Amino acid sequence: MSTVPVSPQLLEAIGVYESINRPLPSAKFAKLPSAYAASVHRKRHEFPKEQMPNPHWLACGVCGRKAEYDLGLIAVHPDVHPSNPESADLAQGLGDQFQCTGYFRCKYCNAAGPWAFVEDFTLFLMDALLRLSVEGPIEGFPVRPGHLKAFDGTEPKWATDLETHILGLIAQTPDDAYLWNRLGNVYRRGGVPELAVIAYEQSIQRDPRQVESRISLANLLYDADDFDHCIEHAHLALLHAAFYRRLPLQSLHELLCSVLRNLLASSLLKDDMSLFFPPTELAEEIAADHGLTAHPGARVLELPELHLNIDDLRSFSEVAMLYLGAAVPAAE
């Protein structure tokens, strides 16, 4: 039976008061307060990966047992190494000056560290930096120089550090939908989509207008082949987007293009192109909630032709702009 690492702090935050000293077994996901966690968990190994696997052997500092974990994207702080990655100064401190996005906890005791590397991790980083210095940026490569900064400027080393930080903030303001969205992003980037959907669901329960959570949820459900619910959340994301102010316009435009792509694919897979357009009644309801007589996105139906290409996100730009009700500045 497959298991997933879950923080006891997360379980408490969603109202599950259960002592847990091991990863959560699959059967438990159906009992969590989530409409989608169990189905997403069943499909988790089919989800697309943002970068190539990055497994490393670590020893848990709590129980002492060793296992292999995917560290995800590793950011090596550029200030700790000179331009020559083979210099003698590189090894000194390099193994400590990094951050990673992969979400994992001990496979045996569920602890979130401390961790000790079993292999020579510094040598791995030196080899990776040398390759980057020779070849330049490599798509999907799991190491890059730089810093990983959270939404509030913090720079956690491990994904579980950021999880603990955000859950601490949520404990103070449990109804902050934006914090729940940021927690969902930690899990999504960390490779645990079933935990991501839980956080996004918590987010939209607190604020149904949380567009980022709607989009992320729709895209995850598309990857889980749950096309009906993908379409539902995509429609709501599109209709609330014109009134969302938590993101720069360009960033929101890019997110809308991604969800429009998955909305189109879902509509085609269900052999019903009318599903690509949110219901008129829903658009009117949301417009009225914002004090408008008509929704800006209604103009999509006025387009003479839709030249959309599932393989080209740029082809969705015009439709996204109509839902936003504004012109989007060109990306630099």
Exposed, middle or buried: residue 103 (CB in 10 Å: 0-12, 13-18, 19+)?
buried
Report pTM.
Answer: 0.92
Rounded to 10 degrees, the C-alpha dihedral 38/44/45/48 comes to 160
pLDDT on residue 91? 52
Phi, psi of 72 (to 5 degrees): 70, -145
**Beta-carbon neighbour count of residue 302 at 10 Å?**
7
Worst-scoring range by mean pLDDT, 65-74, 103-112, 323-332? 323-332
Contact assessment for residue 38 and residue 137, using Cβ atoms and an 8 Å cutoff: no
pLDDT reading at 329 higher than 60: no
- How far apart are alpha carbons 292 and 294 in whole angstroms? 6
Radius of gyration over every alpha carbon of the chain, rounded to an integer in angstroms: 22
Pick from 221, 235, 181: nearest CA to 204: 181
Question: Per residue in 186-245, pLDDT tens?
Answer: 999 999 999 999 999 999 999 999 999 999 999 999 999 999 999 999 999 999 999 999
CATH 1.25.40.10 occupies which residues in the chain?
159-324
Q: Where does the pLDDT of residue 87 fall: very low under 50, low under 70, confident under 90, or very high at 90 and above?
A: very low
Residue pointed to by tokens 């007589």: 293
Instruction: For residue 8, give the H/E element and its range.
Output: helix 8-13
pLDDT reading at 45 higher than 90: no
Worst-scoring range by mean pLDDT, 142-151, 184-193, 289-298? 289-298
List the CATH code of the domain at 159-324. Answer: 1.25.40.10
- How far apart are alpha carbons 10 and 283 in whole angstroms? 35
| C-alpha separations of 183 from 123, 131, 164, 322 in Å | 32, 33, 9, 30
**Beta-carbon neighbour count of residue 105 at 10 Å?**
23
pLDDT on residue 84? 47
Pick from 151, 171, 117, 158: nearest CA to 8: 171
Paired sense of beta strands 24-25 and 3-4, if any: antiparallel
Q: Mean pLDDT over residues 105-133, rounded?
A: 91
Residue pointed to by tokens 């219901």: 279
Higher-pLDDT residue of 35, 80: 35
pLDDT on residue 304? 72
Pick from 197, 263, 206, 210: nearest CA to 232: 263
pLDDT reading at 15 higher than 60: yes
What is the average pLDDT score of the chain? 89
pLDDT on residue 29? 82
pLDDT reading at 63 higher than 60: yes
Question: Per residue in 299-322, pLDDT tens?
Answer: 887 777 888 999 999 999 999 999
